[in-house]
């Protein structure tokens, strides 16, 4: 290959790399926006007393309430990610991000209310560990530039087994215990690594809203089980 060919190849590749960097920046800007919106809505629900009402509603349903919460968590994440990836209109994608984040805040409100009642600093500690863990996994993906697409099957299999274990525990009345939360934290970490790898290598560059939703969902899952681990240790 001649020097001129190398220059031409470099000129072609630079704009592509620039577009990818812009896509990654947009994705993480939208992720930060979703996190801030989640915090704002969660605080509003808590201060208005709505969190207590939602927690009381789910508690009054007994096992059915737990099943409904599990269905909501899985359903919200799946539908939000699905619509964000298939919608062509940017307005629809943004609307989906706002609705998804608000619904996640509603889902989390009973858990956050109970955690805040048990120990005021528990939520902040769980959030800090979640952000540090997600940051480390993100750094691994960006530094190594490795394609972690192979984790897709592991993540799907792990979440599937987790759902079966949750349903079995609620139906047959056995306690999943601390190690279940630890396992789900590990699976959530694999999901963050998988999502980050997809953002670096595979996502279409016009789907940064959908990419942000997928990554937010994985981080939220990790936060949920770290918080539950803290709550179990406080009992």
With bands split at pLDDT 50, 70 and 90, how would you rate the model's confidence at 3?
A: very low
Residue 197: give the domain boundaries: 3-234
Q: Is the model's pLDDT at 5 over the cut of 70?
A: no
Confidence class of residue 193 from pLDDT cuts 50, 70 and 90? very high
Question: Percent of the chain at pLDDT above 70?
Answer: 79
pLDDT at 78: 67
184: pLDDT strictly greater than 70: yes
Beta carbons of 100 and 106 less than 8 angstroms apart: no
Q: Please give the residue that has the higher pLDDT: either 5 or 23.
A: 23
Total structural domains within the chain: 1
Residue 182 C-alpha from the chain's centroid: 16
- What are 80-102's pLDDT values in tens digits? 666 666 767 778 788 888 888 98
Share of the chain above pLDDT 90, in %: 35
Question: Is 123's pLDDT higher than 70?
Answer: yes
DSSP 207-233: -HHHHHHHHHHHHHHHHHHHHHHHHHH
Distances (CA, A) of 205 to 21, 56, 115: 10, 43, 39
**Three-class SS state of 180:** helix
Q: What is the pLDDT of residues 194-227, one digit of tens each?
A: 999 999 998 888 888 888 988 998 999 899 889 9
**pLDDT tens-digit map of 33-75:** 999 999 999 999 998 988 888 888 777 766 556 666 666 766 6
Per-residue DSSP letters for 70-118?
A: HHHHHHHHHHHHHHHHH---HHHHHHHHHHHHHHHHHHHHHHHHHHHHH
């Amino acid at each position: 290959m001649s020097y001129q060919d190398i220059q031409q190849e470099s000129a072609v590749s630079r704009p592509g790399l620039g577009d990818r960097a812009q896509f990654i920046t947009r994705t993480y800007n939208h992720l930060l926006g979703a996190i801030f919106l989640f915090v704002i809505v969660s605080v509003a629900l808590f201060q208005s007393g709505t969190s207590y009402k939602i927690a009381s509603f789910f508690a009054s349903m007994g096992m059915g309430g737990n099943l409904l919460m599990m269905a909501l968590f899985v359903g919200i994440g799946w539908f939000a990610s699905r619509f964000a990836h298939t919608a062509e209109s940017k307005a629809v994608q943004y609307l989906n991000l706002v609705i998804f984040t608000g619904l996640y805040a509603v889902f989390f409100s009973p858990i956050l209310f109970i955690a805040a009642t048990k120990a005021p600093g528990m939520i902040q500690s769980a959030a800090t560990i979640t952000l540090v863990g997600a940051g480390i996994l993100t750094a691994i993906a960006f530094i190594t530039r490795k394609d972690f697409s192979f984790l897709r099957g592991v993540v799907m299999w792990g979440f599937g087994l987790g759902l079966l274990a949750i349903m079995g525990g609620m139906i047959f009345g056995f306690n999943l215990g601390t190690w279940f939360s630890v396992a789900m934290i590990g699976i959530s970490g694999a999901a963050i690594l998988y999502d980050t790898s997809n953002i670096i290598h595979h996502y279409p560059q016009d789907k940064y809203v959908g990419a942000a939703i997928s990554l937010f969902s994985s981080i939220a899952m990790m936060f949920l089980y770290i918080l539950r681990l803290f709550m179990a240790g406080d009992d």
